[in-house]
Structure 1
């Protein structure tokens, strides 16, 4: 073999031995191995929606608590169907009781004047209050009231009670203004501080 070829082989062998000694080996614990695990730019990435405990936390899996409706439904009242005889009986009883109550109040106070004629009750108050007019209205089966403070109102007879939990025959009724569910008693109490629900004769008892 020529001497020049032997020399080239020897140099190549020596160079390969030097590279094998200086080149580090890539192991699982070496920094080269960690760098090789970093995803390259543009490589697809995958994310998990599971929490640390493996539970799914996507929004559509969140429990939905229904909102509590705190709005109470208003009480709806309706006029009781009455025959002509029933209407006159109930309306006359109320008007008579109202007249008796106000006449007793008239005896105790000088600022009230009560008149009842031909089914029309007028109650006049001094000191700029004005006159209240109350009368039956048979065609509509109502009691009409005209107030100098709040204007005219029409009251229907409404039965209260006599429901599923009430004993038969124990129902009571009130003359009610169906637009706001107020009664004639409430109007006198709110506008004049007169309580018509008190028993008849209580003024004389108080003075005694």
Structure 2
């Protein structure tokens, strides 16, 4: 059992070590990162006193501890992918006006087209801003709005998934990878699948 003098020495040693590693108190304008550093300091720096002597000491740093839980931002010269903010290109209210007009127009024309073709399982449905065109065994088209990206997405049984952006010059939804227009893609694919041309433009 440690003597009172030894316990006092231990207490003084702990205070000395804590003062040596204690950072300055954060100001009101200090960042969250600085706060995380100072608040977790006591858990990162623990010391163990050797049983043979109270005067000798060794430090143990927990390797699982981190100085900050935040992920540092990429440097300006990093090779990370560039994110395009489509919201800067098209205002949200204008996007909704254009996208809703396009999808509602497609809905009407596809319903008329369904009366002309003889396809088992042909069905057009619209709900929750998603247009679904079922062609029985020929497959299913899904067309929906993607507001965060200001895009219209389409899943096609022929060409797969594609994303269309509004092009001011041509006043049409364009797939940037192929420069194809949404209506033209549907006209070509549906005409080939159903054996009858359709005019969507």
TM-score between both structures, scaled by the size of structure 1: 0.48
Q: Which has the higher contact order (CA 8 A, sep 6+)?
A: 1
Larger Rg computed on CA atoms: 1
TM-score between both structures, scaled by the size of structure 2: 0.50
